Amino acid sequence: MENQSIDVTNENTEYEQEELETLYNLERLLESGQFELVSDKPENGKIRLIYIMNDAVESFIVFDNARLTGTYDSKFEGSVTASLTGNEKEYVMVVHQNESVFSIFFQKMYMENHLYNYGKIGHFWVKGYEYLRNIEYKIAIVRDKREYLGEEYCNNQELKLAHLSDFPPLNYCCYPSVPQKYIVPKDDPWTPSNEAIQVMYDMAELTRDRKMQRMLKFYKNHPEKCVAKIIASMLHRNSHKELVDYLVNIFVKASENYPVRNFGKENEKLEKYIKKAEQLKEELSKDGIEASVITEEPFVEVKDSIEFKVYLMIWKKGVLNRKVELRRIV
């Protein structure tokens, strides 16, 4: 969607702080080109509008004591405009989808946020150095959590990791996790931030990667595209294994206190698949082969096209480069 906007008219209405924050998020959502209801039919008196959905968070704008009139087109992809008015008793948001118009009447709006453990989740939409692309993906979803929900929804480790979205050798410039057509480019993407370079430098120092430390010092003084590409190529070298492993594991650590998704009756079956993968991992370990168990999970609050999958990511040491073999368990 494009050219979306919301016009707010205050008819002697005093918004509470929670509603002001929700209103800001609603405006931001419309400006970003997104407007998708979970359902146009109220559930327990609530209509939910999807705010942000990824492996780290499922978030909604909730219209409480709500009803919808008119026709909402769930497949609409054109421009949308909206106006919001209210009084002491009720709000009404009128939404235009070209010639189609619908209205949502409600008494209160608020945010509903569900945070999840994403440490061992991965996606394999783009081939080649998949482990680095999964790091890029996790950097992106942590950044989105910070940007869309606020720093209070992130722990200290996540706030540091979010800076890496401004580190071209590891962001979508060099290791995009999604196909090109899904990338939303930012201005001057090849320019790193000092904070991002510092985060990487600290990790290189922790893992005693002296060569990477020297290169990052050079990069800070010469933040050019050609230098970024050199650092990107260093990341898949065997000689920088400890640094990359640290990056992989730091996301596991950063998200370990968040709950895992609950799929109800499916949980027992899914746990069996994971256990099978762990057993295969253990068998490979006896032969000196390193592997990681990666899951791909659907959303809980909203149905999507992703099915639950379990992979073994088997690490392969080449002459110079470190690659992986993906083995799907289910």
Please determine, for residue 9, whether its predicted confidence score (pLDDT) is greater than 90.
no
State how beta strands 80-86 and 5-10 pair.
parallel
- Residues 129 and 252 reside in one and the same domain: yes
Mean pLDDT of 289-313: 93
For residue 95, CA distances in Å to 100, 101, 102, 105, 184 come to 8, 6, 6, 11, 25
Q: Where are the alpha helices (DSSP H) in the chain?
A: 17-31, 130-149, 156-162, 194-206, 210-221, 225-235, 241-254, 267-286
Range of the domain at 327: 263-330
- Cα 234 versus chain centre, distance: 25
Residues 36-73: tens digit of each pLDDT = 999 999 999 999 999 999 999 999 999 999 999 999 99
Round to whole Å and give the CA distance between 24 and 64.
17
Round to whole Å and give the CA distance between 19 and 16.
5
Give the SS3 label for residue 316: strand
When pLDDT is cut at 50, 70 and 90, the band that residue 270 belongs to is very high
Question: Alpha-carbon Rg of the chain, whole angstroms?
Answer: 23
- Residues 84 and 162 reside in one and the same domain: no
- Residues 182 and 244 reside in one and the same domain: yes
Domain endpoint, select from 82, 113, 144: 113
Residues 84-143: tens digit of each pLDDT = 998 878 999 999 998 889 999 999 999 999 999 999 999 999 999 999 999 999 999 999
- Residues 35 and 159 reside in one and the same domain: no
DSSP run (H or E) holding 324:
strand 322-328
- Residues 193 and 174 reside in one and the same domain: yes
- Residues 125 and 230 reside in one and the same domain: yes
Lookup: tokens for 147: 């940007």
- Residues 107 and 30 reside in one and the same domain: yes
Collect all residues with Cβ–Cβ distance below 8 Å to 26 and sequence separation of at least 6: 6, 49, 61, 84, 109
Domain endpoint, select from 228, 260, 292: 260
Round to whole Å and give the CA distance between 132 and 184.
19
- Residues 252 and 278 reside in one and the same domain: no
Domain endpoint, select from 211, 240, 260: 260
- Residues 320 and 212 reside in one and the same domain: no
- Residues 123 and 179 reside in one and the same domain: yes
Please determine, for residue 1, whether its predicted confidence score (pLDDT) is greater than 90.
no
Domains in the chain: how many in total? 3
Cβ–Cβ < 8 Å for 165, 145: no
- Residues 205 and 290 reside in one and the same domain: no
Please determine, for residue 254, whether its predicted confidence score (pLDDT) is greater than 60.
yes
